[in-house]
Structure 1
Amino acid sequence: MNTDHADPEELAALRAAFDVDDGGESALGWEAVHAFEAEHGIVLPEPYRTFVAEITDGSYSGPPDYGLLGLAELPHDRGDDEQDRDLSKPFPLTKMWLWEDDPRPSEELDPILEQVFGHGSIVLGTDGCGMDWHLIVTGPHRGHIWNITGEGADPFGAEFGLTTAEPGFAGWVRHWAANKPWYDAE
């Protein structure tokens, strides 16, 4: 997974998976991507960066179940918490965490949860019921995809044990395009 340079083969696979043939009209363009990055103090990981600049900024065809959100969008069930998000601060997790089973008091957990939901990630979309897919844009897991729910969070990719998929945005999309269940590891 190379988060600094777009692989032409990955970009071709992304174009094919989303079947976007509008001459780039649904893409943001590089000027808008650079403006978003400057506003938030980040550089988006590749190949997602090139994807939103040149291919499309969101898609009803998915992934996930309710479609891929545009770069600056949040799922409708999230409300208006954009003001609490800080993409330039590192995403705090590096391994699965089921906070629903964490015995620590809420006074300890709440500040960490605020960071999980508000720091260092953009929301790619939702599978409904608060099950959101995030692309990590800052921190040790930059470029990885995480599934964050009301009960816990887990990273996506074979190296984490829950799926056979490659990590990162391209691996996540390829897994979806192959019509595989998200969690297909035995």
Structure 2
Amino acid sequence: MDADHARAAELDALRGAFTTGCAPALGWDAVRVFEAEHGIVLPEPYRTFVAEICDGSTQGPPEWGLLPLASLPDGWRGGGTGRDLVKPFPLASRWIWTDHPRPVEEIQAEIDAVSDHGSVILGDEGCGMYWHLVVAGPSRGHIWLVFEDGAVPFGAEFDYEPGEAAFPHGDSGFAGWVKHWAAGNSWFDDDDE
């Protein structure tokens, strides 16, 4: 995964995966305005995807479609007022906060940072599960699933960390996530379904 450079093969695969249901691409000027407003540079190939290919889609991934770049899922907590994309996404490995020794109420600010710092939300998987693309922090360029009980990186099994060879397509970023979906694979290993 190279979050700083889009590869032609990745972009071709993304074009092939989104043949229907795509919203018009934003164009480079709009992407640069978004980045300047938020103090970040979007990771590739997502950056080129929203600029040149598609800014959201009614078809997956995820279950309810791919959100446009500047959008949040309906009913997002606080309307997104606490979101800060320049603050680093705080995780580099999975965290199930319901297993934390301190009560959730004591670690709520840390939990909120997982949902609100350093990521764009790609969409809603249902049941309070949201896919995030990390745009700032140690996991920049990786896809994470944030849900009621914790946060885990996208991978063949959610016990793997970003960047390990266990990813089914060798890529824990946007292109690998889309490729996994386009191949009809489940997001979850059999134990988690």
TM-score (ref. length: structure 2): 0.88
Cα distance change on mapping 1:9 and 1:99 into 2, 3 Å: same
- Give the distance between the partners of 1:104 and 1:31, measured in 2 at CA: 46
Indicate the residue corresponding to 2:155 in structure 1. Answer: 157
Which amino acid is 2:174 matched to? F
Find the residue that maps to 1:127 and give its secondary structure: strand
The aligned amino acid for 1:169 is F
Q: Residue 86 of structure 2 aligns to which amino acid in structure 1? A: S
1:119 equivalent in alignment to 2:117: yes
- Distance in 2 (CA, whole Å) between partners of 1:33 and 1:113 is 28
How many angstroms apart in 2 are the aligned matches of 1:97 and 1:176? 24
Displacement after TM superposition at 1:185 (Å) = 7.7
Partner of 2:7: 7
- Equivalenced residue count is 184
- Mapped to 2, the partners of 1:163 and 1:183 lie a distance apart of 12
Judge which range, 25-34 or 59-68, deviates more.
25-34
Q: CA offset at residue 42 of structure 1?
A: 0.1
Structure 2 match to 1:175: 180
C-alpha displacement at 1:115, in angstroms?
0.8
Structure 2: 5+ residue runs without aligned partners? none
Partner Cα distance (1:64, 1:142) in 2: 20
Deviation at 1:155, TM superposition (A): 0.4
How far did 1:37 drift?
A: 0.2
- CA drift at 1:183: 2.3
1-structure distance, mates of 2:49, 2:43: 10
- Cα distance change on mapping 1:152 and 1:21 into 2, 3 Å: closer
Q: Deviations over 1:62-93 (max 9, x none)?
A: 10000000001111132443211000000001
| Structure 2 residue identity aligned to 1:164 | P
TM-score computed with the length of structure 1 as normaliser: 0.92
Once the two structures are TM-superposed, the CA of residue 107 in structure 1 deviates from its matched residue by 4.9
- Helix, strand or coil at the partner of 2:24: coil
